[in-house]
Copies of this chain bind each other. A is one copy, B any other.
């Protein structure tokens, strides 16, 4: 689905946020873990299965209030192929429940290798005379350090299958400035040059809300840069990590939005999926805790927006 679909879901739910599904085994409440480990042991298979059950419970609890989920590939890869199998199943389950899925993979490679990633994550993989969808996310995150050769193969698949991508611009981590804030080009910075490239790559793919298929990742923890990037990239949809645990506030992320609360989506991962660890209970309330945290985030961010 394109950003049009995402924007529509956001407006329908009056909620410009995405829940990051970044599960470690220890984030899964004990009652789920115990039952699964009793069957599979403390194995990679056991961890993967526990995470799948946890993800499904979270999706069930969030599907009617949060428009999108963002599974982070690292937490699945660390369980090997069994984790990747659960990533595939999680994406499928989220789709069945009507959620938009951003696969947070931050891939960046060139030519036929970029095309191979695009096949797997957004497109189809050909085997002999047959084609198969694989992960089939709606959207992926990308790293554009290698230039247009690393983004164009994804963009081709996005156009063919009505999908989208986000490319890193200014990330939320403390050390992001080591490269990204270095002065570069004519009066710009490395992230500024990247922002210009992204606007160029996306040009001509604008949808009904005016946003291209090539979005940008800009962290909530750098509000000055966030405001600057919003102004520099008027046609670019923004994915904003760093709210909550990393220190970004609702007042910080307001800079990411256009009028009507359009043009951006804010992520929270642990703030939602680990909310049960702060209720003082045993984790059996994880769905309620995640839902309450998601509603609180929606309302917190909404205070600064003029969503219709």
A49 to B53, CA, bound (A): 29
Closest residue of chain B to A133, judged by CB? B80
Q: Is A197 an interface residue when CB atoms closer than 8 A count as contact?
A: yes
A interface residues, how many (CB within 8 angstroms): 75
Q: Is A248 an interface residue when CB atoms closer than 8 A count as contact?
A: no
Closest residue of chain B to A86, judged by CB? B81
Residues of B within 8 A of A183 (CB): 184-185
State whether B88 touches A132 (Cβ < 8 A).
no
A110 to B79, CA, bound (A): 18
Among B37, B75, B143, contact of A145 (Cβ-Cβ < 8 Å): B143
Q: Is A106 an interface residue when CB atoms closer than 8 A count as contact?
A: yes
State whether A145 touches B168 (Cβ < 8 A).
yes
A132 to B81, CA, bound (A): 13
Measured CB to CB, the closest approach of chain B to A45, in angstroms, equals: 9
A127 to B119, CA, bound (A): 32
Q: Is A259 an interface residue when CB atoms closer than 8 A count as contact?
A: no
Which residues of A from 90 to 134 have beta carbons under 8 Å from B? 106-114, 116-117, 119-121, 125-130, 132, 134
State whether B81 touches A116 (Cβ < 8 A).
no
State whether A173 touches B147 (Cβ < 8 A).
yes
Which residues of A from 212 to 234 have beta carbons under 8 Å from B? none
Measured CB to CB, the closest approach of chain B to A217, in angstroms, equals: 10
State whether A77 touches B149 (Cβ < 8 A).
no
A144 to B117, CA, bound (A): 19
- Contacts A47-B127, A175-B149, A183-B185 given: A78-B143 contact, CB under 8 Å? no
A residues adjacent to B (C-beta < 8 A): 22, 24-25, 33, 37, 41-44, 46-47, 72, 74-75, 77-85, 87-88, 106-114, 116-117, 119-121, 125-130, 132, 134-135, 143-150, 168, 171-180, 182-185, 190, 193-194, 197
Given contacts A33-B128, A147-B179, A148-B178, 14 further A-B contacts (CB under 8 A): A25-B127, A42-B130, A43-B127, A43-B130, A47-B125, A77-B117, A77-B134, A78-B117, A108-B108, A145-B179, A146-B175, A146-B176, A149-B175, A179-B193
